Amino acid sequence: MRITVIGAGPGGLYFALLTKKERPDWAIDIYEQNQADDTFGFGVVFSDETLHEFLARDRPSFDRIRSEFAYWDDVAVHKNGVEMRCAGNGFAGISRMKLLAILQRRCREEGVGLHFGDPVDPATLVERFSDSDMILAADGVNSRIREHFRDAFQPEVSIKANRFCWMGSTRPMGEFNYFFKQTEHGIICAHCYQYEVGRSTWVFEMDEACWQGHGFSETDEEDSRARLQAIYAGELQGHKLLLNRSHWRRFPRIFCRSWSHENIVLLGDAKASAHFSIGSGTKLAMECAISLSDAVLAHGEADIQAAFRAYDDERRTPCQIIQHNAD
């Protein structure tokens, strides 16, 4: 069987790894438009439950991921000088770049073909990969493949009202923190957690009026950083904010009525996205990768459509529940 994966994010890499590990005789290749070490964002989050599933599926990648983890049990909410803390949550953070590097290495060890700096044109997708039994579109929330075949996938896209910006900091922290700040233009919330030694993620979120009032519509990355550092000087405790494609955005909620079309199937944010505040984007992608791999291993050689149906049957409801909770 020949499988082509478009997109080398956590979901696409994990699907390829798990599938190739069980069927080394299958040809599996991943095509990614960016270079291997190009990535946006800072850290990603996993729950204890998800980590146990990773351990059961591939011990080598689990051990390498675990060695890089920053762990915490508490979630702390800070507002008007008051801290409210909830213990016993069981989460871990890791650098997105390190996670991708670990999964890339495991894919190479299992014999998956990795092709970086190789963009795929959706208009020629079927022709270019005409020898593929299955094409996995794991090309992100702005999936060009989903949009090219939108009549088949029937995506529903709603853009959330709030503005957000993803930054990092050198400030260490031992828990997940929500810092609410009342400003002259409205409330800003910073979603913060440590993902490696000396590095933490800071996602700033506010409504449109607050965003406009602070002048963020007219700032570049550096100006935004300077203004947010001033607003959050106390919480940063003398540490600086870090940038990495830290542009202001509004979150697109994606829901596709169909996850497959002919021999093409969607994975990760390409098929369903959940708001970042729930911390489940990477978790969803990798858990769906597990389900899709199981389905393809069980049914793929005989009936790829049966594999796609099994994947949809198992994962659609869990994805919808997480989307609902995030909303």
pLDDT tens-digit readout, 118-145: 999 999 999 999 999 999 999 999 999 9
Q: Measuring CA to CA, which residue among 40, 15, 30 is closest to residue 95?
A: 40
Q: Per-residue pLDDT tens for 211-248?
A: 999 999 999 999 999 999 999 999 999 999 999 999 99
Q: Is residue 277 in some structural domain?
A: yes
Q: Which residues pair with 177 in a beta bridge?
A: 76, 192
Q: Cβ(93)–Cβ(68) under 8 Å?
A: no
Q: Is residue 234 in some structural domain?
A: no
Average pLDDT score, the chain: 94
Q: Is residue 82 in some structural domain?
A: no
E-only strand ranges, 170-294 = 176-183, 186-196, 199-206, 241-242, 249-256, 260-261, 264-266
Helix and strand element counts for the chain (H, E)? 12, 17
| Separation CA 155–CA 272 (nearest Å) | 9
Least confident of 4-8, 48-52, 267-271: 48-52
| Separation CA 177–CA 196 (nearest Å) | 15
pLDDT interval class at 195 (50, 70, 90):
very high
Q: Measuring CA to CA, which residue among 306, 282, 283, 285 is closest to residue 295?
A: 306
Q: Is residue 257 in some structural domain?
A: yes
Please classify residue 190 by burial: count the beta carbons closer than 10 Å to its beta carbon, then call 0-12 exposed, 13-18 middle and 19+ buried. Answer: buried
| Separation CA 145–CA 264 (nearest Å) | 9
Least confident of 66-75, 115-124, 169-178: 66-75
Q: Is residue 29 in some structural domain?
A: yes
pLDDT value of position 177? 96
Q: Is residue 198 in some structural domain?
A: no
Q: Is residue 177 in some structural domain?
A: no
Give the mean model confidence (pLDDT) for residues 193-220: 96
Owning domain of residue 272: 2-38+96-158+253-326
Q: Which residues pair with 76 in a beta bridge?
A: 85, 177
**SS3 assignment, position 91:** strand
Token readout for 131 is 């020898």
234 phi, psi to nearest 5 deg: -65, -45
CATH, residue 140:
3.50.50.60
pLDDT interval class at 299 (50, 70, 90):
very high
Q: Is residue 138 in some structural domain?
A: yes
Q: How many domains does the chain have?
A: 1
Q: Measuring CA to CA, which residue among 285, 296, 292, 259 is closest to residue 10?
A: 285
